Structure 1
Amino acid sequence: MKKFFLKLKFCVLACAVVLGSAHAQTSATAPIRILVGAPAGGTTDTMARTLAQAMGQQLGRVVVVENKPGAGGNLAADMVAKAAPDGNTLLMSFTSHAINASLYPSLPFDPIKDFTPLTMVSTSPSVLVAHPSLPVKNVADLVKLAKEKPGQLNFAIGALGSSLHLAGDSFKMKAGVFIVNIPYRGTAPAVQDVLAGQVELMFAAVGNAQAHIKAGKLRALGVTSPKRLPAFPDVQAIGETLPGYESSAWFGLFAPGRMNPDLAKRLSDAARVAIQTPDVKRRIESEGAIPAGNSPQEFSKFVEAEIVRWRSVVQYSGAKPE
């Protein structure tokens, strides 16, 4: 009988080893999911899909993108925060990851502790545009006019609490002017009303405004990047007139918190190599964005600083979740 139980124990242990090995193999070969807290077709979705294939080639794995829009990106973020830190579930997030920390009274996750930042994928400066009928040529002209006519000029806002909304409020804080926000349900109708002259001003993504600027339907007054952009060499950086002003959207790759540092480095390295491949760089730049690819440590410090930076702007704006 004793020999029987010894044999049984050996069989159980052997089965456990085989099953454990099979599970590890399944986990290592299963598709990596990148969750996106925005609908398909938007810039965040495009960034994720641009990165997925090239990153998968680096890892020798299939990488798929799943859209989980809702609550300003918080739905997807919550799913990743609660996922196992095994490298199979990642998050492509954007500036709202930092903004939401102040915009929402409470979140079901900690935007710092519950995530492992892997790398910044890209940054996306915006451009301050005006309808051509507005008698201003640059930022200095706009500040002068806004001070002469407080509350008589308007900013079109594609989404309350978005990076573009807060770019405008940062501008007003720096310039000391009062310009009224006109909220819209989406960027497209906001752009259309500025094109039609119904609203005078807007902060727009470069990709959304570039064709209209070249066609003379919108006038570019300034860009939100620290320096002038190659796409608009004659358009000043707003910081040239308002020192210290900068407001770029960013897109970054996160993993669940408590991830093994070696695994985090492997995922980060794969993403960073993918970002620098010519095809990926070209596609990122076609969206009016600038490829990045910093280290996990650099990205972590950046996210923490962004949460602090946006807090005062959110408080100034009085923005509430939609």
Structure 2
Amino acid sequence: MKLLTRYVLAIAVAAWAVLPLRAQEVFPSKPVRIVVPFTAGGPTDVIARMLGERLSEKWKQPVVIENRAGGGSTIGTNLVAKAPPDGHTIGMVVMAHVVNPAIRSDLPYDTLGDLAGLSQITTSACVLVAHPSVPANNLRELIVLSKAQPATLSYATPGAGTLNHMSGALLNSLAGTDLLHVPYGGSAAAHADVLSGRVPLMFDVWAPVKEYVRAGRLKVLGITLKDRMPSDPSYPTIAETVPGFEVVSAFGMVTSSRVPRPVIEKLGADIAAVVREPAFAAKVRDFGMEPVGSSPQEYDRFIRSEVSRWSRVVRESNIKVQ
């Protein structure tokens, strides 16, 4: 009887050992859905479609892009969190993914518990720009101006709770400035008012404002990355004046945390391999972003670190978002 028991256990252990291999061999077994939590046509959607095309070729399965906009990206992300845990539903996320837990008490999912990182796709700088009429030409001068005229200088963003909003809150916290936040219903309206001079300042990602800067319609006061941008090294970082300031804009991919770990590892490895392809990386750089292609473990660490950091900023700045 003992011999039989040992024999059965040996078979069970052997079967368990090959499960990861089999999971990787059969995945994907049907079309894969990439959920984009924004409308079609934006940079997140374009990057997702680029990825989907290459992943479809790699997997020999259709990859379908599904746009589910709304709720500050939470509607689409919730769809991913609640999807069948077989790895055939994955989602694009932006930095709202790590800010939302700090500012929204009604999230329909647990960001860290219900979702698993697959790979960070890109990283890019945010930038603090000013209308040419602003008398400050660098960050040090802006800080002096803000302290001399508290609660008079304002900065525009695409909306409350965005990374752009958080960038201004972080600057106020670290530099002692008193910049007022002016949220808009999107980037286009914010750009229009800053370009006209109705609002003097704006935090935004580099790609959509760089042409305005090069045309002399806006001026750069600081880049939010820790180091200067390799593509435009003449622009100083905010950290050069305010030590410890760093804001990174990033795109990534997640799936349900209930998906078997071998499938998560395969998804992450395949996505990262595509991101690192020279042709794909070149297209990403055309958008003003840098390709990353991290592992699931690396992206999970990034997500947890950013959730912790922005939660602290929100508490210290007493930010309220309706």
> What is the TM-score with the length of structure 2 in the denominator?
0.88
- Measured after TM superposition, the shift of residue 27 of structure 1 is 8.2
Query: What per-residue deviation string (whole Å, max 9, x for no partner) do you get for residues 84-116 of structure 1?
Result: 121210011111111111211132211111112
Residues 121-159 of structure 1: CA deviation (Å, up to 9, x unaligned): 111211110011111121111111111111111101211
The answer to whether residue 115 in structure 2 is matched with residue 115 in structure 1 is: yes
For 1:83-102, what aligned pairs fall within 5 Å after superposition? Answer: 83-102=83-102
1:102–1:91 CA distance, 2 compared to 1 (3 A):
same
Ranges of 4+ aligned residues in structure 1 off by more than 3 Å: 25-29
Q: Is the 8 A contact 1:161 1:314 kept in 2?
A: no
Partner in structure 2 of residue 319 of structure 1: 320
Distance 1:230 1:138 in 2: 20
- Equivalent residue of 1:242, what SS? coil
How far 1:297 sits from its partner (Å)?
0.9
CA distance in 2, matches of 1:28, 1:279: 24
Distance in 2 between the 1:27 and 1:70 partners?
30
Contact (CA 8 Å) 2:27, 2:263: kept in 1 or not? no
Aligned to 2:202, the other structure's residue is in SS state strand
Aligned-partner residue type, residue 319 of structure 1: K
Matches within 5 A, 1:137-216: 137-216=137-216
Q: Secondary structure at the match of 1:112?
A: helix
Contact 2:129 2:219 in 1 (8 A): yes
The answer (yes or no) to whether the contact 2:129–2:222 under 8 Å persists in 1 is yes
Who is 2:31 aligned against? 31
Tell me by how many angstroms 1:50 deviates. Answer: 2.1
Deviation at 1:59, TM superposition (A): 2.2
C-alpha contact (below 8 Å) 1:121/1:253 kept by paired residues: yes
SS of residue matched to 2:210: helix
1:219 alignment counterpart: 219
Q: What one-letter code is carried by the residue in structure 1 that aligns with 2:207?
A: G
CA distance in 2, matches of 1:126, 1:199: 18
Look up the match of 1:79.
79
Determine the C-alpha separation between the residues in 2 that align with 1:47 and 1:91. Answer: 12
CA contact (8 A) 1:35 1:76 kept: yes
Partner AA of 1:308 in structure 2: S
Which residue of the partner structure matches residue 58 of structure 1? 58
Find the aligned partners of 1:131 and 1:120 in 2 and give their Cα distance: 33
Distance 1:312 1:29 in 2: 42
Aligned to 1:267: 267
After the TM superposition, which of the residue ranges 224-233 and 197-206 deviates more from structure 2? 224-233
Q: Deviations over 1:208-235 (max 9, x none)?
A: 1100000000001110111111332211
Cα contact 1:166–1:317 (8 A) shared by 2: no
Letter in 2 for 1:153: L
| Correspondences of 1:214-293 after superposition (within 5 Å) | 214-293=214-293
Aligned mates of 2:70, 2:38 — CA distance in 1: 7
Q: CA RMSD in A?
A: 1.6
Instruction: Supply the distance in 2 between the matched residues of 1:67 and 1:59 (Cα, whole angstroms).
Output: 22
- Over alpha carbons, which structure has the higher Rg? 1
Name which of structure 1's ranges 304-313 and 49-58 shifts more when overlaid on structure 2: 49-58
Taking the aligned partners of 1:58 and 1:142, their CA distance within structure 2 comes to 50
Match of 1:45 in 2: 45
The gaps in structure 1 that reach 5 residues or longer are 1-24
| Matched residue, 1:105 | 105
Aligned-residue offset at 1:26: 11
Q: Could you tell me how far 1:196 is from its partner in structure 2?
A: 0.6
Cα separation, 1, equivalents of 2:229 and 2:26: 46
Give 2:222's aligned amino acid. G
Instruction: Judge which range, 229-238 or 241-250, deviates more.
Output: 229-238
The letter for the 1-side match of 2:170 is: S
Distance of 1:319 and 1:44 partners within structure 2: 26
Distance 1:302 1:27 in 2: 26
The sequence identity of aligned pairs, in percent, is 34
Q: Distance in 2 between matches of 1:108 and 1:233?
A: 41
Mean Cα deviation higher: 307-316 or 232-241: 307-316
Preserved CA contact (<8 Å) 2:33 2:66: yes
Structure 1 letter corresponding to 2:275: I
SS at the partner of 1:113?
helix
Question: CA–CA distance in 1 between the matches of 2:90 and 2:56?
Answer: 13
Aligned length: 297
Instruction: Give TM-score, length-normalised by structure 1.
Output: 0.88
Counterpart of 1:237 in structure 2: which amino acid?
A: T
Report SS of the residue matched to 2:225.
coil
